[in-house]
Amino acid sequence: MPDHPEKRTVKVCIIGAGPAGLLLARLLEQCGIASVVLERRSREHVEKRVRAGLLEWSTVEAFRAAGVAHRLDRHGMVHDGMELRHDGAAFRLAFSELTGVPMVVYGQQEIVKDLIGARLESQGEIHFGVTDVRICQVGVDGSLVQCTLDGIPVEISCEFLAGCDGHHGVSRAAIPAQRRSSHQWAYPFAWLGVLAKAPPLSPELIYAVTDRGFALQSMRSPDVSRLYLQVPPNEPIHLRSDEEIWHELDLRLTGGTGKLPTGTITERVLVGLRAHVEEHMQYRTLFLLGDAAHIVPPSAAKGLNMAVADARLLAEGLDHWYRSGRRDLLDGYQSHSLRRAWHGQEFSEFMTSLLHVSPGESAAQRRMRRARLDLLRRSSTAATAFAEQYVGLSRP
């Protein structure tokens, strides 16, 4: 960076163009608060990056309020329940009946496309391929960021800084080490995920718990399935042939009946199951959102929904500050978001232990898992409590 970079000022600088960063920018724009979004990757990369696609109803409402739910409402698949299979038996948990709200399947990459499209249409400032972002200062009255935009070295002075750039981004590292405190752990298995040109076995999600390991059937459209297999954490992504993957999925999802629809596998991904929580999600004028603040295993599909909740909360706090000059909502961001993060972690931990066979697991541990599944099937009270957590109503 040269001695005299071009100087810019903005109220809010947002690092990261994932759902949290893009939604925050959109909500701030609706409040008349100017922001700039800096993204390390290319636009093509972030729009094709396949992630979670299971949306809580509050998340759907957030996108509607932001005016970016036109495609979601047309193409999102409403799920009023899901199916759990174990020991050759199956039962359905009816979310809409138990809680009053459904879930919606709509790919994260589609959400990102919608938010980027809205940002560009409104001529909001967003930059892709910014690989040299450096947070030079996080002060009590503002922060300073340096980077290169369109080949020009720039120094951005902002009143607030939103770190939405993930676990390995520059934002989390900008909090002084003596102020950071975190918890992290990993699970002894992974998910092999495939995207396939094949209709789903069922119009709703199927979670299959077997002695061979877990399997999940999801979908992206009536003709495209998203499926996952529990595998060892270090399994090479191309170890299994397509035929072996379909065979194992059929064994776990149908008991080997051959009823699972098959087709061309167009994409593979290996997803590690890990968890992380930052106890300090704000420092002076810097706020962490989404994966920069917390990571959950995908078992309960909470990551995207928690990131959206972070964006809504911070947008509300910033709007309150700029309208009234009061920091009470901003100062409460950490405690509120952290409480929700731990609730999301707790349910994700419960789902992970409920669904997966751990290496070296004892017969007694397997019997306890079966007892928990049996309780969900037999007790409407247990089923309702589970459903409230699954759809996000129990997360404060």
**Which of the residues are catalytic?**
79, 207, 298, 302, 390
Other C-beta atoms closer than 10 Å to the C-beta of 371 total 9
- The whole-angstrom separation of Cα 245 and Cα 297 is 22
Residue 176, H or E segment: none
Cα gap 305→343, rounded to integer Å: 12
CA 164 to chain centre: 12
In sign, the C-alpha dihedral spanning 9, 138, 149, 68 is negative
**Is the CB of residue 116 less than 8 Å from the CB of residue 27?**
no
What CA–CA distance (Å, rounded) separates 348 from 264?
31
- Residue 285: strand, helix, or coil: coil
- Residue 6 burial (10 A CB sphere; 0-12, 13-18, 19+): exposed
Q: Which of 129, 134, 176 is nearest to 155 (CA)?
A: 134
Q: Which amino acid does the sequence have at 338?
A: L
Q: What is the DSSP letter of 290?
A: G
Is the CA virtual torsion 322, 286, 309, 386 positive or negative? negative
Closest CA to 373 of 81, 82, 97, 90: 90
Q: Among candidates 264, 248, 245, 266, which has minimal Cα distance to 256?
A: 248
